[in-house]
Amino acid sequence: MGQGGAERRGGEDRFSHKVERVLSQKEALGLSEQQVEGIRALGLKVSREMIAGKAEEETAAAEIKNLLAADPVDIEAVNRLIDRKYAAKAAKAKAQVSAEAQLKEKLTPEQREKLRTLRRERMKQMKDRTRHEGRGEREGR
């Protein structure tokens, strides 16, 4: 809540993107059907955890806002809600780290290396394309 793009780039969306990228390269990586299904299941599990965690954070934030509008403010209740909100945030972060590790475990060392190679190649292509497009714009001025 309130972080906009930063929130969308973190947690669930970042991991979902990673899962999609791995699955889109399943042939190049030589993934077995069992690996594909395991990776899909992991992606769904993480998505559910992130949605539940975000809902918990947003609920706590709304309750905090409501309590802060009261007169007098119940500081102990607000502090409990702050703890609840950040416990949910911590749980999401821990789930993210766990999912990253589980995804790596589903790949063989050779597949992990191939994925790194594909990522480096993609980054190089993006960098080259950006560099090339940048020159074209400057020359046109």
First to last CA, the chain: 42
Q: What is the predicted pLDDT for the residue at 58?
A: 98
Query: Number of structural domains, the chain?
Result: 1
Task: Tell me if 42 is assigned to some domain.
Answer: yes
Residue listed under structure tokens 């929130």: 7
Tell me how far apart the alpha carbons of residues 15 and 42 are, in angstroms, rounded to a whole number.
10
For residue range 41-84, list pLDDT tens digits in order. Answer: 999 999 999 999 999 999 999 999 999 999 999 999 999 999 99
Q: What is the predicted pLDDT for the residue at 12?
A: 58
The reply to whether the predicted model has a pTM over 0.85 is no
Share of the chain above pLDDT 90, in %: 77
Task: Tell me if 125 is assigned to some domain.
Answer: no
Q: What is the DSSP letter of 140?
A: T
Structure tokens at 111: 């597949």
Structure tokens at 72: 């007098």
pLDDT at 136 over 60: no
For residue range 104-123, list pLDDT tens digits in order. Answer: 999 999 999 999 999 999 89
Residue 109: domain span? 9-117
How many angstroms separate the Cα of 30 from the Cα of each of 83, 106, 123?
Answer: 45, 12, 21
Q: What is the predicted pLDDT for the residue at 19?
A: 95
Tell me how far apart the alpha carbons of residues 32 and 62 are, in angstroms, rounded to a whole number.
45
Structure tokens at 66: 């409501």
